[in-house]
A and B are shown apart, each in its own frame.
Chain A
Amino acid sequence: MIGALRALGRKALGFCERLGRAHVFLAYTLLGVPESLYRVRPLFYQVYAVGVLSIVITVVSGLFVGMVLALQGYNTLVDFGAANSLGIMVALSLVREIGPVVSALLFAGRAGSALTAEIGLMKTTEQLAAMEMMAVDPLRRVIAPRLLAGVLALPLLATIFSAVGVYGGYFVGVGLLGVDEGAFWSQMQTAVDFQNDVLNGVFKSVCFGAVVTWIAVFEGYDTLPTAAGISRATTRTVVNSSLAVLALDFVLTALMFD
């Protein structure tokens, strides 16, 4: 009993300590962000690595999600004679919710895990220690551009996801199920508000990008320098950032669309 309590206490303390370390890490990394803006080449490379290389998975997923949304939505709407509103349903679901969230989950799996493994391996092979010994701060040189790249890339990916999803919905709704094309687009245009729906969605994905990339780079930096350590860190990145995205989504949605 006492042993279990002690183990629980140790776990809780360990968690708090790690959380504290993650925040100190973030603070020092943020100090390096302005400098990263001037080092254009490494930043572009990182945006390419986490963003451009994630486009294929984002586009394919967006297409299928849009198509499924149209199928499901049509079946419900047609019972109420509101099949012409399919465009609204597809677009609102995507830009407000599914686009930012699903693209963030995909981003955590595709780019987040890669970031963790890369930085973890740099630590294991003493590359980060070597930088410190050359009086170069790895937080500024390695971590800051990656964090910034994640924050820049995810909103763009989420936007691509939503745009492709809308077209997926269009193909199924208009092409397959016979919804009127004019009604599909015009109702969407009328009902979807740029500021309240689209921009709020983009803001969400900026937050998700920051959180997912933060978790990914911290897990890599904080990993045990062994093969098992990197494996655990990569798993933790995907699990923790997915949970963080879903929880944060609830908070942001509650604040934005009350």
Chain B
Amino acid sequence: MKEAPGDQPLVRIRDLSFHYGERVIFDHVDLEIPRGKVVAIMGPSGCGKTTLLRIISGQIRPRSGSVVVDGLEVPSLSRAALLALRKRIGMLFQSGALLTDLSVFDNVAFPLREHTDLPQRLIRALVLMKLEAVGLRGARDLMPAALSGGMARRVALARAIALDPMMILYDEPFTGQDPISLGVLLRLVRRMNEALGVTSIVVSHDVAETASISDYLYVISGGRVMGQGTPQTLAETRSEWVRQFLDGSPDGPVHFHYPAPDYAEDLHGGSAAPLVST
């Protein structure tokens, strides 16, 4: 019997490979994002977490493999179909990426004005509702330059949910936040998920914070999925690498030192540069 679309995972990635020049970012990766859950993608800096979000949203094409979002094969979509899909996906960029020449209100109204013919009064009501949800209704007249980093991300979140998306992609939402902003953002990510019934993908390397709000975790590194599971099962992992990553130990399977020639030999001149010129 064929599965009903509602039972299928919202995002299904099979055999995904992607390279930046010579550098392998993903090497035959399989991933599934179930509907209505908060799924975290974690991994060290530069392991391709953000690239994964860009592949899911069709901003870049993978070298090979299949990326299916809500039944649509993203890499082979036409431009029009891709834009239509993106209207149903909200994305929160690391910096917030607010349009700097528009006020907070106009930023949140931007997608509504671009994609709907709603009357001004209705747009105003919708924008105020979205801003109320992130606690910034009172900041509607501020310009982005006057916002703190945490506030900018909350406005960006209000903008990301303006078109009532089916899925929200969060790119490093907690990086560089003070404890209060962090707490607010954590609560918002979870609450948006429950209140709006959306699927959330959170890319992050803030292990404890992200694990506290996630239903399922993927840990990726070196182009492969190193570990996956619910926060509880992953906490009991036997993989040394995942252990080191989750605990943040400075040494382990990932060494403290970047590969280098022998230290003593290097200091005593090796072949390239003597310490004292003669």
Chain B contacts of A130 at CB under 8 A?
91, 93, 97-99, 156
A134 in contact with B93 given A125-B100, A127-B100 (CB within 8 Å): no
Per a CB cutoff under 8 Å, which of B86, B94, B100 touches A134?
A: B86
Q: Are B86 and A133 in contact (CB under 8 A)?
A: yes
| Contact flags A85-125 to B (C-beta < 8 A → 1, else 0) | 00000000000000000000000000000000000001001
Q: Which of B152-166 contact A (CB under 8 A)?
A: 156, 159, 163
How many residues of chain A get a CB closer than 8 Å to chain B's CBs?
14
A134 in contact with B95 given A127-B100, A129-B59 (CB within 8 Å): no
User: Whole-angstrom distance between the alpha carbons of A141 and B163 in the complex?
Assistant: 19
Residue of A nearest to B107 (CB): A130
Residue of A nearest to B110 (CB): A134
Chain A contacts of B84 at CB under 8 A?
135
Instruction: Decide yes or no whether A136 CB sits under 8 A from chain B.
Output: yes
User: Whole-angstrom distance between the alpha carbons of A134 and B100 in the complex?
Assistant: 16
Chain B contacts of A127 at CB under 8 A?
97-100
Nearest Cβ in chain A — how far from B180, in angstroms?
A: 24
Residue of B nearest to A131 (CB): B99
Q: Are B57 and A133 in contact (CB under 8 A)?
A: yes
Chain A contacts of B100 at CB under 8 A?
122, 125, 127
Instruction: Decide yes or no whether A181 CB sits under 8 A from chain B.
Output: no
Residue of B nearest to A137 (CB): B83
Chain B contacts of A132 at CB under 8 A?
59, 86
Residue of A nearest to B53 (CB): A133
Instruction: Decide yes or no whether B114 CB sits under 8 A from chain A.
Output: yes
Q: Which of B98-117 contact A (CB under 8 A)?
A: 98-100, 110-111, 114-115
Q: Are B114 and A134 in contact (CB under 8 A)?
A: yes
Instruction: Decide yes or no whether A193 CB sits under 8 A from chain B.
Output: no
User: Whole-angstrom distance between the alpha carbons of A85 and B111 in the complex?
Assistant: 61
Q: Are B95 and A133 in contact (CB under 8 A)?
A: no
Q: Are A136 and B93 in contact (CB under 8 A)?
A: no
Chain A contacts of B14 at CB under 8 A?
none
Chain B contacts of A131 at CB under 8 A?
99
Instruction: Decide yes or no whether A17 CB sits under 8 A from chain B.
Output: no
Chain B contacts of A122 at CB under 8 A?
100
Residues of A within 8 A of B (CB): 122, 125-127, 129-137, 141
26 contacts between A and B (CB under 8 A): A122-B100, A125-B100, A126-B93, A126-B94, A127-B100, A129-B59, A129-B97, A130-B91, A130-B98, A130-B99, A130-B156, A131-B99, A132-B86, A133-B59, A133-B86, A133-B89, A133-B90, A133-B91, A134-B110, A134-B111, A134-B114, A134-B159, A135-B83, A135-B86, A135-B114, A136-B111
Known contacts A134-B163, A135-B111; 7 further A-B pairs (Cβ under 8 A): A127-B97, A127-B100, A130-B99, A133-B90, A134-B86, A135-B87, A137-B83
